[in-house]
Chains A and B, each alone.
Chain A
Amino acid sequence: MFDLDAGDEFDLVVQTARQFADDALVPAMRDAERAREPDSGLRATWNEIGLAALELPEAHDGAELGCLARALVNEELAAGDVGATLALDTFGPAATALLEVGGNDALAAGLAACDRGASRLLLISGDDADCGIENDGGGERLSITAPYVHAEAAGALVVLLDDRALLVESGFDFEPVRGAGLRASGGASLRADAAPIAGNWENAEGASRARARARLYYASLLLGVMRSACDFSAEYSQQREAFGRPIGHHQALAFMITDMRMALEAARLVVHEAAWRVDRGLPCASEAASAFAECIEVSRMVGPNGVQILGGHGFMADYPVEKHMREARALGLLCGGFDAAIDEAGRTLVEQTTPLALGASGAL
């Protein structure tokens, strides 16, 4: 069966996310960026709608709706304000990383460390930081430097490496940086010297699935940012006139807008298929890496083109397209960015003879 209907249960949460984005995130977008965090009113509303626990198991008071639900919700939220979304979703992809690598015990430890989301549980991908583990006889310790993380405070770190996940609850420092984008989430360089490791779960397969989920988390945020850029610039192109007609009626721009939309539609399907594979327990590392790479590649086209369509206005902070362009690029640099994604996807692909042959496994 091939079926693209999300189903009633998903429709409800997607609708909730869309309404929150439209009513709360969009109006506060620039204020949150200036303040480097969403205001308390936004946080209160966010906590009421309960989207943070979407993927958590029922045993941890979550909705256990899975990766696809997260992808659908993330697109809606990021279409409103991706920086604020990262700040509000205090678990981010860190909670599911703990769950995939260390199971319920690891998740419980992580949730306790961040006081169930009262502070942030921040995922650090090994691709984005220099990490070293040592044992001084008194226990394992982590030294880490990361030039950029999309936060300037956290209750605990989850460091995701190739074969394990580490939980670090103390001994790390943030030094705020301006941030190229995602400023509503804060931004800092991160450093820890011999920080005590509170949990160390070794599980290469789980780490691979955790990495897949993290990539899909950011890929779906990219979808939202790109959708917003597409929608805004297409709408603008019908209002703004040049040479006697709406600029969108000049074929050069009409085709550019069409290419942006086509690329977004395709990227969305690729993300959804990969997320579906995660939820079904199918091999997903290559597909998730490929989906993230696709979103990054498309965002490199959509972001600048959104600005281009608005011309000089697009370059100014009076319109959101410059923010879309900056934030899409910043998102695409996380988890090792494009290069790490295509490297992982490529290595898996070439192990096969006919990687996309139809029908053999039942899945596409």
Chain B
Amino acid sequence: MEFTVDPETRRAIEQARELGEKELRPAGLEADRRGAPIAPDDPFFARCIERGEGRTRWRGPDDSAKSSGGPRSVISTLLVMEELAYWDRGVIIATPGPGLPENNVLVMGTDEQKERFLGPFLEPDRPRWACFGMTEPGAGSDAAAIKTRAEKDADGWLLNGAKCFIGGASRSDWILVQATLDPSKGRKAQRAFFVEQGTPGLGGFQIEKKMGLKAYESTSFTLENVRVPASHLLGGEQRRESNAGFKTALKSFNAGRPAIAANAVGMARAALDESIRFAREHDLLEQDRVRDRIEAMARRVRKARLVCLKAGWLADQQRPNIIEASISKALAAQVAQEATSMGLELIGSVGSRGDHLIEKLYRDVKAMDIVEGTGQVQRMIIARSLVGLPR
């Protein structure tokens, strides 16, 4: 066994730390104070592009383009994500790039789709975003229950439905919309479609008001008789008869669970460090109750980090990790909420003023127990394996 961080990952963490201290934390605090997402034309995003961020991992049609970075182990990615979330998780989500659907396009997309939809992210001329439209007002964790319809049209597809809580939808170049060919057939009938910004019928964008993570926009929108060409079905026409669309969507979710867990660990660690700083500044460290809380917070962070890394390590080993991924997500989100709450107890009424970092973290971190499958959904997944809980 080994519990070390390799030198390359340490360097990446150090870079993330520098970026976080200089850019992410200030931007996140400012967005929280303003109660609004960072605007698309904010200079912060231009600086992201100047630093080479916001690029696709796709290497171009001739496999020669400079991508946003070579293959990195899952473990390494998780550790860097922990560090970035330590500084501000909301800002990380807000940063430009092909985002959540990129993996689906890389895995399932045709060559033409990669060129058309990921091509602009090779050397982005400006901050560009893309997003994944899965969640609906009536279908959150139960993604199989989505109602957005896709009907075959003479020369393409007709989409109708409504989506909500979609990150960055109003500013995205395109949205990968998950829709069903037949709601009565559940997940088998789901497919994903590229819908470009400006397509007639795509509209009603409304930026939701959230309790935390205010740096990025969570947006609802509607699709009213939105026509997309046949070539906009992810994977091309041959996917029409296949249910691989839904499986691909879930694949990206599975890969995302340890990442959310790593985010939660980073946020909990920020609360821990702020608690220690506060206690030191107020000469509280000699009090047993204070040290006991700090110990409890640290212990939670440590165990959450380890379960998260175990899920990532299994993925790196190409071993099944569905149970461990769910454990990491359920446990890290829960203990991070506890840790931030303990931090608030430690700072007392200062936390009620609404301007302390720990208070912001307490609000921000709640989402970690909701996105990509709530803690309860994770427990259902685990229980299916442990005790054969029926679906």
Contacts and interface: CB of A to CB of B under 8 A. Distances in A.
B389 A254 contact: yes
B331 interface: yes
A227 to B, nearest CB: 13
B330 interface: yes
A74 B313 CA distance: 24
Contact of B387 (A237, A287, A345): A237
A349 B75 CA distance: 25
A343 B13 CA distance: 31
A273 B1 CA distance: 9
Contacts of A255: 376, 379, 383
A356 B2 contact: no
A35 interface: no
B13 A258 contact: no
B320 to A, nearest CB: 14
A254 B385 CA distance: 10
B306 A269 contact: yes
Given A2-B3, A269-B310, A276-B2, A364 B305 contact: yes
A246 B299 contact: no
B273 A354 contact: yes
A279 to B, nearest CB: 9
A3 B269 contact: no
Interface stretch (A20-28, A260-268, A329-337): A260-268
A3 B312 CA distance: 11
Contacts of A269: 303, 306-307, 310
Given A249-B389, A254-B387, A356 B382 contact: no
Interface in A237-254: 237-238, 246, 248-249, 251, 253-254
Contacts of B298: 290, 345, 349, 355-356
Which of the listed residues A237, A265, A276 has the most CB atoms from chain B within 10 Å of its own CB?
Answer: A265
A262 B291 contact: no
B166 interface: no
Main secondary structure of the interface of B (DSSP, over half): helix
Interface stretch (B4-12, B91-99, B225-233, B357-365): B4-12
A249 B388 CA distance: 7
A238 B295 CA distance: 38
Nearest to B7: A362
Given A269-B306, A350-B276, A262 B327 contact: yes
Contact of A258 (B279, B382, B388): B382
Interface string A339-364: 00011011101101111111100111
Nearest to A272: B1
B41 interface: no
B145 interface: no
B291 A2 contact: no
Interface of A: 1-7, 68, 234, 237-238, 246, 248-249, 251, 253-255, 257-259, 261-263, 265-267, 269-270, 272-273, 276-277, 287, 290, 293-294, 342-343, 345-347, 349-350, 352-359, 362-364
Interface of B: 1-7, 9-10, 13-14, 75, 79, 82-83, 269, 272-273, 276-277, 279-280, 285, 288, 290-292, 294-296, 298-299, 301-307, 309-310, 312-313, 324, 327, 330-331, 376, 379-380, 382-383, 386-390
